[in-house]
Amino acid sequence: MNYVIRRMKKHLYCTPLPSTRTMENSTHFKVFRLAAYGDIGQMKYCYFAVVTVLYFVIILANALLIGVICIERSLHEPMYLFLCALFVNQLYGSTGLFPALMFYLLSDTQDISLLYCYLQIYVLYTYGLTEFSNLSVMSYDRYISICYPLQYNNIMTPKIVLGLILLSWLYSFFLNAIIISLSLRLQFCGNVLDRLYCDNYSVVKLACSNTTLNNIWGLVGTALSFSCTICPTIYSYVRILQICLKSSKETKQKAFNTCTPHIASLLNFSSGWLFVILQGRYDTAHLPPILRTILLVYFLICPPLFNPIMYGIRMAKIRQACKKVLRL
């Protein structure tokens, strides 16, 4: 009996206890702190005014073009319907950032609950992937229009157009739902994010628990996103270029007029997303804080501002439809 008791004591004292740090984190970290706001003093009112104006312009510009495309029957064509989906997504993404940004600029605390943090990650990530998907679908539409003009109406039927738009959204929602579900199980060693908003990479870096599954799915998701969005876009433009080299001057001009805004949108958004990825992977402390902040929010501010203005000016049918609607 004494032998058994001694063995039990030995087992009890030799078995490692759960990490106190992990237990403490899982108990106390109910919020994240967004450290990028810092102490900006009275300048917060100036920043708040600028952000409010930007948000108002984004809502006005995108909502105007969405309304014009929906109202004007002459714009009920695949290219303009894809543009409408692009503008809707930009409103969705902007709403994931601006209200929170405006709130925290005026707030005395920059703490964000875990639930709202994950919700913001989901909104911003689905916005980003849906944007790439929409731009990929638009490149496919341009490819069919230029390379198969006689079969275009037979290929790009209303059902196909609606299916491509829904697929872009559903694919993004599903892929990012897995990312969030993997992050929800994590316990954290810290709660300070050097960001203006929540992003999954920064959150996972704070985790005490095993993040192998998150890393694996991150690689898988990146590969899927690249193969389903960037690769089709590259293929579409390679084929368009091949056709243009063999075609008449009129065909080249048509391709240039319709593809230039799309390429500009793609490069603009890709640059903004690249800025975010580079800031997450590399130390950018040597950069001025204002520059780091601009680069962080570029993909959420510039495309929603840039695209409606560019498409509204560059595309004659949209420009004429806007004038017609505004005269009513």
The pLDDT of residue 322 is above 90: no
Residue 207 pairs in a beta bridge with 188
The pLDDT of residue 30 is above 90: no
Lowest mean pLDDT among 47-51, 82-86, 318-322: 318-322
Confidence label for 63 from pLDDT (cuts 50, 70 and 90): very high
Residue 183 vs residues 23, 69, 126, 214, 240: alpha-carbon distances, Å: 18, 39, 15, 7, 41
- List all residues 6 or more positions away from 292 whose beta carbon is below 8 Å from its beta carbon: 36, 279, 284
Confidence label for 156 from pLDDT (cuts 50, 70 and 90): very high
The pLDDT of residue 2 is above 60: no
Sheet holding 111-113: strands in order across? 111-113, 31-34, 192-193
Confidence label for 18 from pLDDT (cuts 50, 70 and 90): very low
How remote is the C-alpha of 94 from its chain's centroid? Answer: 10
Lowest mean pLDDT among 18-22, 250-254, 267-271, 276-280: 18-22
State residue 28's pLDDT score. Answer: 57
Cα Rg, the chain, nearest whole Å: 25
Query: What average pLDDT is seen over the chain?
Result: 85
- Asked whether the beta carbons of 134 and 229 are under 8 A apart, the reply is no
Show the CA angle centred on residue 156, arms to residues 241 and 94, nearest 5°: 80
Find, among 221, 227, 193, the residue nearest to 207 by Cα.
193
Q: At what angle do helices 114-147 and 249-281 cross, to 10 degrees?
A: 160
The pLDDT of residue 196 is above 60: yes
Structure tokens at 8: 């039990």
pLDDT digits (tens, 9 = 90+) for 68-84: 999 998 899 999 999 99
Query: pTM of the full predicted structure?
Result: 0.86
The pLDDT of residue 16 is above 90: no
Residue 253 vs residues 15, 74, 143, 144, 264: alpha-carbon distances, Å: 75, 22, 15, 16, 17
